[in-house]
Amino acid sequence: MSTMTALARALAVEQGVAQPIATVRHVHISDRPLVFVPLALAGEANAPLAAMVGDDRSDPHLLVVAQPRNRDQRFAFAAELARIFVLYLELFFGAEETVPVGRGGEQRTRYADAPQLLVPNQGGIEFVALLGRSTRFRRAEGEWAVDPAVPVLGQWLSWLAGRAENPASSMLLAMTGALARHWASGQSAVEDQNLAALAGWIDPPEGMTGQQAAAAAEDPLTWPPAGPATDPTFDNEVLARLIENAARAEGDERAERRALRALTEALRGQIEPAWRLVWKSADLLRALPPGEHVARRWDDDKDAFSLYAAYLREGGAPQPRRDSAVTAARRLAWLERETVRYAAQRAHDDPLVMAEQRLAGEAFAGQVIAAEPGRVVGSGRGRKLRPLITVATTDPVAIEEGTRLVSPSRPGQNAVLVSAAPAGEGLTEAVLELSGGMGYGLIAPTGTIPEVGEQVCFATLADDWQPHGELPLPEDTPWTHGGPPVPYQPADEDVTEAWS
Amino acid sequence: MHTTEARLDRIRGFAPPRPHNARTIAALTSNPGCARRAIMDAAGVDKARVAAHAGFRAPFGQSQFAITRGNAFEAQVKADGCAELLRLLREQLHLPIPEVSYDDLEYFGGERRSHEARHARTRALLGRAAASGDDAGTMFDHPMLTLEVGGRRVYLEPDLIAFRLRDRFHVVEIKSFAVIDGQADGGKVAAAVIQSAVYVLALRQLMEATAAAPPDIVADEVILVCPENFSNRPVAALLDVRKELTVLQRQLARLERIEDLLDTLPADLTFDLEADEAGVPRRPPGELAEAIRVVPARYAPECLSSCEMCFFCRDEAQGETGALGRDVRDDLGCVEYVPTALALARGEAEPSPEQAEAAAVLRLACRLRSESLPGGEGPPPAAGRWPGEEALGEAV
Amino acid sequence: MTVTEMAAHAARAEQEVLAALDRLAGDDRAVVVDSPPGAGKTTLVVRAAVTIAAAGEPVMVVAQTNEQVDDLVCRIAEAAPSLAVGRLSAADYVTSPRVGLAGALVATGLDDLRSCAVTVATAAKWALTRDGSWPWAIVDEAYQMRSDMLLRIAGRFERALFVGDPGQLDPFSVVETQRWTGLTWDPMVSAVEVLLRNNPSVQVLRLPVSWRLPATAAPVVAEAFYPFGGFSSGTGPGERSLSLRTRGLGARALDECVELAASAGWALYELPPRQTVRTDAEAVAACAALAARLLQRGCEAASEVSPGAPVTASRIAIGTAHRDQARAVRKALAGAGAPEVVADTANRLQGREFDVTIVLHPLSGRRDATAFHLESGRLCVLTSRHRHACIVVARAGIPELLDAHPAVEPVHLNVPAKFPDGWAANQAIMAHLADHKVRAS
């Protein structure tokens, strides 16, 4: 993420504390998130070992799987987790809000707020995706019945993991990633994946530098890993014995209880620090003022949540294992649009993010030194108002003539770079032709266009997207892409799929 | 004149050399520019012990749950003369396999054999199979191959070698990470592929040595066997290792030129731990650290997941922009030290001619940062806060 | 082979393509033609379009950029003046003069082009059409078109010819994800890759002759970037030559370098090793200085099509990896008094041709290689634009950088191994250039 962030890291090293790389918050942090800290057994694809989950930091639920390889116990874990999750979701089904649709005065409703799942790191997101995958195809009846809440949990988790691929969405957040978007530590991005180390840089304990806090965070005895992977030494020296004790105690009720308690407490010790860290990270982020577009992006999340909840209520099928050709292309277009919009919105909301654009010559800021607000082009009925302004800037302008630019303070207005010429003493004079956002007449109302003396900023990054054109219906998938996909039929093999 | 082997022995000290295996040979490609690693690996130094004694114990360890799972999965795949594997090859990979026999090269003649004996038998059996025009196939279990690495003979044990699948030998690698809906972790697959390439190389050399068949009788496609989704059922995939073979051959060739590197080092350099009769290292850690520092390293954060010396080298690299990441150093105009970069950014230091361009970018970045932050850049650097700042003064 | 024999060889290949198109029937719906640099791809596209249209079947031609569309429209109109050619355009397209001259019908909607035998448009514009169907489509630069674009337009045609250069830059996305890796319909890979993975029986033919690359370049480029489908130069040794009318004076290394390029077709202008910012002033200046020197010394080119003509500034190009480097080179060129020399990135130089090219090596001045800088397509484009000579400007240390490069790229299942490997291609080019090195003083 380039020179500005690199410079901030260098500053962090020198100052002994992480340096801001954002002046506002670019993610939504809910007032009532559900924090989820999972631990998985080493060596398996997705064998839950324990999880701490809850929406109240002082009252976590701790779920433990005494025999992680036992299928029944795994599904019991999933069922318990599902119950907690569904209870949390129901908090959001109560309140609705109305939103306008287009400009015709029509309205629609959606939920007034949406759930938010917070996990410690990227591994947590992958755990959510895998757990979703391993549970969403199960069924509540038949030979391999599971608790009816389990496949619902699976669909929700898979859906959330899908939203997490979109940088503009905040429904499922990895705290390491969220923190790293706002602070540069004095260590590498690789080391930033350790939540304790990153948090140690951002908010070191009294009397410690960021370096010292991060070094302490690397000791698994002081800071057990935030999961899902456990510390191998803990596995070998503590966990193995406790799991074996719990297995051997089967049959003897008292011994069983004792063994389970010992196992639970050991796992609690491993998870609790990460639990506290996730809440603390949310606090750190909440302390930043939100960027202007954060609410708008959260609205998109609310819309998506409302739509998916309706889909599930109507008995919607679980997500297929892999995307078909049309689904994949549609999703790619969506991700591209969201990625471009998110990058543009962050720059428009945050001068420190815009600074990176300015450094690269892709944006510039300066003062308006001349203006022709009444300039009109065309003739007769085709006459259009096209004001010109000249901006003097010391930024290096590397934009081609004819490029369209946008100003954060007037997002509805287009500016085309007419020319950018050096004017001595490191100054560049950029001439811009403006259109849009100035009413419909041939005179621009006051304030709609920049005036001489105004400080302005123009960037190539814009919050819009060119449509690519129509995608065919899935049943019309052409021969080039293998023809139409076989429609999903829930099969027995989904239900009997081993989770061993 | 000391031979290369003698010089490497001197560097390693009295401990026996760590035996190479496919994983460590594959690791030669993970940071080929690091002289420290090259010397230590060539000499067979126990990097974990050296790092620990120098005060920087490595963070690596393996959970017994993972080990148990891996062994169980491998046993399952190979059970009953590789019945599961054969089914996979026939059904999933559509390899036409005639009747196949099974040969265990670890136990023969009723007892467990030494490396040399196993290798001799492997050579004999594989050579014979290659030279014969027989249609039948064989699964060779626990074969023992060799490879010349840096002048030393290394014994290698692939999981399995399958023969006469489309008239070729295929290396089979059994790994216990999962393939979920046809996808697996890219890094783990990459590691498996390059390890398999080591075996392919060794097997081709065996064919050349026995002159039983041309080396390309060993396929450059290996068979990777992994658990499917969340179960213990295996799934197989064919992987092309041609690229990895090219990389490996080049790095092994470079290793042959280790003398060039040794020539730059003092003749009395040693990483010996001076262990007493009980095996406890007695060499003063500071002295050991000094010796290590004689050989330059090429630290990058990626070392943290691949080399036991990582904490030592990271500590040594403190203050270097490279410790923050290769891309970070790049973004700072390849200025090597953090205080230098900051001084140039603040305009406090005159850039040398080579630094002029980087300095211009850094100054601009610094100005833009100040302009964009509500309170300006932040507090000026406190004197003496940075360890070693005085020592780095001349670098500015 | 002589030029005449080469021409016959190439013509046979072209005939083979047309014959293969003729044979398409039933479920056999596509032909792919791999076209190495300068192999006459546009000629083939034009020939195929005209042949099919002349037989009475309407053809839709898909190109990737407006420039390419204009080019094709003009050449088709030129090749078959009696054919009605249409250009489907976006609303903001301004008809370029040559398209107007060619007599093509330009419109924003298909309704106005119903009478056209051949309709040409960008893939993006075709993707916006909702109806209309053609028995035939020709997709140009098909390896540079992303497969999701193909998905959007494939419903418009029955059968198609896909033509493109597999050695050049892959399609690109701002999104980084492994979600579709391994799927045969991965939307992020090229259209040809998806087509072939889903239709493995599709015939892949090859144009065997490069008319652009001289005999000194074709074997080098073919070996490095086209390991499975070589090609030959259309001209033999000595048929192309560069000469310098004046003698060198005073700029020893620059002169030695342009002289070497003129005689051998290649040169490496090596600057002292250093790690620098991307817009390495010394390297940028060297690129501009070399271009200026060529012009100053009255460089002339002789070839099979012309006995001797001066190499003008617009026939010299300087290629870079990054836009900021191209800008810096342009500035340096203006300062060196040679502003008409073309300077641009590999992306923008794709498809173009020059007499002499100068390349700012993507790895020059770097401490570490990244996947972007190693990408073989980029180096392939940069080293295959020239008809006579290519000069590479680089700081010393690239072979060492390549040797130190960690080979830790992820590997994915169900993805065919991609050749050439960027690392290997870079090694091959550097090995070749080592024999043509001039050290900057």
Q: pLDDT tens across A195-238, in order?
A: 999 999 999 999 999 999 999 999 999 999 998 999 999 999 99
Question: Across the beta sheet with C354-360, what order do the strands follow?
Answer: C342-345, C316-320, C354-360, C386-395, C266-271, C437-439
Helix (H) or strand (E) holding A84: helix A71-90
> Looking at the domain assignment, is residue B310 inside a domain?
no
Average pLDDT over residues A3-13: 97
Higher local confidence (pLDDT), C400 or C99: C400
pLDDT at position C30 is: 97
Residues B164 and B82 in one domain: yes
Average pLDDT over residues A36-41: 97
| C3-16 pLDDT, tens digit each | 788 889 999 999 99
Residues A59 and A153 in one domain: yes
pLDDT at position C79 is: 93
B358 CB within 8 Å of a chain C CB: yes
Please tell me the distance from the alpha carbon of residue A373 to that of residue A413, in angstroms, as a whole number.
14
Q: Which residues of A touch C150 (CB under 8 A)?
A: 480-481
Q: Which residue has the tokens 């992977």?
A: A229
C175: nearest CB among A332, A469, A479 = A332
Q: A312: domain range?
A: 3-346
Helix (H) or strand (E) holding B205: helix B186-210
Residues B28 and B175 in one domain: no
Structure tokens at B93: 């990979």
Residue B376: pLDDT band (50, 70, 90) is: low
> Looking at the domain assignment, is residue A356 inside a domain?
no
Amino acid (one-letter) located at C440: A
Give this prediction's pTM: 0.94
Average pLDDT over residues A403-418: 94
Structure tokens at B384: 């003496």
Where among A346, A375, A390 does a domain terminate? Answer: A346
B369: nearest CB among A2, A4, A187 = A4
pLDDT cut 70: percent of chain C above it: 100
A149 touches A86 (CB < 8 A): yes
Residues B133 and B203 in one domain: yes
pLDDT at position A498 is: 65
> Looking at the domain assignment, is residue A465 inside a domain?
no
Q: Are A499 and B381 inside 8 Å of each other by CB?
A: no
| C169-208 pLDDT, tens digit each | 999 999 999 999 999 999 999 999 999 999 999 999 999 9
Q: What is the mean pLDDT of chain B?
A: 86
Residues B167 and B268 in one domain: no
B142 touches B157 (CB < 8 A): yes
Nearest Cα neighbor of A153 from A312, A271, A280, A284 is: A312
Residues B106 and B234 in one domain: yes
Please tell me the distance from the alpha carbon of residue C45 to that of residue C35, in angstroms, as a whole number.
11
Residues A283 and A418 in one domain: no
3-class SS string, A382-437 = HCEECCEEEEEECCCCCCCCCCEEEECCEEEEEEEEEEEEECCCCCEEEEEEEECC
Where among A346, A374, A398 does a domain terminate? Answer: A346
What's the helix, strand, coil split of chain B in %, to 5?
A: 50, 15, 35
Q: Would you say residue A500 has pLDDT above 60?
A: no
C194: nearest CB among A398, A469, A480 = A480
- Which chains would you list as touching A if contact means 3+ CB atom pairs under 8 Å? B, C
Residues A378 and A328 in one domain: no
How many Å lie between the alpha carbon of C131 and the closest alpha carbon of chain B? 36
Residues A139 and A210 in one domain: yes
> Looking at the domain assignment, is residue B309 inside a domain?
no
Higher local confidence (pLDDT), C79 or A493: C79
Residues B283 and B357 in one domain: no
Q: Would you say residue A475 has pLDDT above 70?
A: yes
A161 touches A136 (CB < 8 A): no
| C254-285 pLDDT, tens digit each | 999 999 999 999 999 999 999 999 999 999 99
Q: Would you say residue A30 has pLDDT above 70?
A: yes
Nearest Cα neighbor of B231 from B373, B84, B122, B381 is: B84
Residues A377 and A289 in one domain: no
Higher local confidence (pLDDT), B193 or B60: B193
How many Å lie between the alpha carbon of C220 and the closest alpha carbon of chain A? 34
pLDDT at position B164 is: 66
Please tell me the distance from the alpha carbon of residue B10 to that of residue B2, in angstroms, as a whole number.
10
Residues A263 and A397 in one domain: no
State whether residue B349 is helix, strand or coil. Answer: coil
pLDDT at position C440 is: 93
C185: nearest CB among A335, A472, A482 = A482
- Which chains would you list as touching C if contact means 3+ CB atom pairs under 8 Å? A, B
Please tell me the distance from the alpha carbon of residue B291 to that of residue B50, in angstroms, as a whole number.
11
Which of B204-213, B359-368, C367-376 is the least confident region?
B204-213
| C385-414 pLDDT, tens digit each | 999 999 999 999 999 999 999 987 899 999
pLDDT at position A484 is: 94
Give the CA count within 13 Å in the CB-facing half-sphere of C248.
16
Residues B272 and B151 in one domain: no
- Interface A:B, Cβ pairs < 8 A: 156
Listed by number, the residues of chain C in 338-397 with a beta carbon closer than 8 Å to a beta carbon of chain B are 365-368, 370
> Looking at the domain assignment, is residue B363 inside a domain?
yes
Structure tokens at B61: 């360890």
pLDDT at position B394 is: 32
Please tell me the distance from the alpha carbon of residue C103 to that of residue C84, in angstroms, as a whole number.
9
> Looking at the domain assignment, is residue A141 inside a domain?
yes
C404: nearest CB among B32, B237, B329 = B32
Residues A219 and A172 in one domain: yes
The angle formed by the CA atoms of residues C96, A375 and A389, to the nearest 5 degrees, is: 90
pLDDT at position B83 is: 87
Which class for C387: exposed (0-12), middle (13-18), buried (19 or more C-beta within 10 A)?
buried
Where among B249, B269, B287 does a domain terminate? Answer: B249
> Looking at the domain assignment, is residue A466 inside a domain?
no
Structure tokens at C317: 């190009």
Listed by number, the residues of chain A in 193-232 with a beta carbon closer than 8 Å to a beta carbon of chain B are 218, 230-232
Residue A495: pLDDT band (50, 70, 90) is: low
Residues A193 and A332 in one domain: yes
Q: Would you say residue B389 has pLDDT above 90?
A: no
Which of A114-118, A143-147, C375-379 is the least confident region?
A143-147
Q: Would you say residue B110 has pLDDT above 70?
A: no
| B72-90 pLDDT, tens digit each | 999 999 888 888 888 888 8
Residues B38 and B136 in one domain: no
Q: Are A468 and C149 inside 8 Å of each other by CB?
A: yes
Residue A405: pLDDT band (50, 70, 90) is: very high
pLDDT at position A318 is: 93
Which of A50-54, A384-388, A482-486, B24-28 is the least confident region?
B24-28
C347 touches C315 (CB < 8 A): no
pLDDT cut 70: percent of chain A above it: 97
> Looking at the domain assignment, is residue A452 inside a domain?
yes
Q: Would you say residue B388 has pLDDT above 90?
A: no
Q: Are B342 and A14 inside 8 Å of each other by CB?
A: yes
Residue of A nearest to B70 (CA): A43
Residues B238 and B369 in one domain: no
Nearest Cα neighbor of A491 from A199, A139, A145 is: A139
DSSP assignment of B283-301 equals S-HHHHHHHHHHS-----G
Residue B134: pLDDT band (50, 70, 90) is: low
Q: Are B193 and C411 inside 8 Å of each other by CB?
A: yes
Average pLDDT over residues B208-213: 85
> Looking at the domain assignment, is residue B98 inside a domain?
yes
Residues in contact with C119: Cβ distance below 8 Å, sequence separation at least 6, in sequence order: C58, C59, C60, C61, C85, C86, C87, C88, C110, C113, C134
ipTM passes above 0.90: yes
Residues A28 and A143 in one domain: yes
| Most B-contacting residue of C413, C419, C423, C427 (CB-CB within 10 A), to test interface | C413
| A51-106 pLDDT, tens digit each | 999 999 999 999 999 998 888 999 999 999 999 999 999 999 999 999 998 888 88
Which of A431-445, A484-498, B256-270 is the least confident region?
A484-498
pLDDT at position C3 is: 77
Residue C51: pLDDT band (50, 70, 90) is: very high
pLDDT cut 70: percent of chain B above it: 90
CA torsion sign for B113, B117, B123, B125 is: negative
Q: Would you say residue B1 has pLDDT above 50?
A: no
β-strand partners of B227: B234
| Cis status, amide bond into C420, omega within 30 of 0 | yes
Residues A265 and A405 in one domain: no
C353 touches C387 (CB < 8 A): yes
Listed by number, the residues of chain C in 99-128 with a beta carbon closer than 8 Å to a beta carbon of chain A are 124, 126-128
> Looking at the domain assignment, is residue A497 inside a domain?
no
Residue B97: pLDDT band (50, 70, 90) is: low
pLDDT at position B383 is: 33
Q: Would you say residue B379 has pLDDT above 60?
A: no
| C18-44 pLDDT, tens digit each | 999 999 988 899 999 999 999 999 999
Residue B100: pLDDT band (50, 70, 90) is: confident
> Looking at the domain assignment, is residue A22 inside a domain?
yes
Average pLDDT over residues C307-324: 95
- Furthest-apart CA atoms within chain C: distance in Å: 69
Q: What is the mean pLDDT of chain C?
A: 94
> Looking at the domain assignment, is residue A357 inside a domain?
no
Average pLDDT over residues B264-281: 90
Q: What is the mean pLDDT of chain A?
A: 93
Residues B49 and B80 in one domain: no
pLDDT at position A497 is: 66
> Looking at the domain assignment, is residue B312 inside a domain?
no
Q: Would you say residue A300 has pLDDT above 50?
A: yes
Residues B126 and B237 in one domain: yes
> Looking at the domain assignment, is residue B317 inside a domain?
no
Residues A439 and A317 in one domain: no
Residues A320 and A391 in one domain: no
pLDDT at position B250 is: 87
pLDDT at position B396 is: 32
Question: Count of domains in chain B?
Answer: 3
pLDDT at position B98 is: 64
> Looking at the domain assignment, is residue B313 inside a domain?
no
Structure tokens at A308: 């998916």
Q: B386: domain range?
A: 324-395
CA torsion sign for C218, C223, C224, C228 is: positive
pLDDT at position A16 is: 97
Q: Which residues of A touch C126 (CB under 8 A)?
A: 469
How far apart, in Å, are the Cα atoms of A90 and each of A87, A96, A279, A303?
A: 5, 13, 22, 16
Question: Count of domains in chain A?
Answer: 2
Nearest Cα neighbor of A499 from A137, A140, A80, A161 is: A137
Please tell me the distance from the alpha carbon of residue C265 to that of residue B162, in angstroms, as a whole number.
49
First to last CA, chain B: 42
> Looking at the domain assignment, is residue B314 inside a domain?
no
Residues B217 and B267 in one domain: no
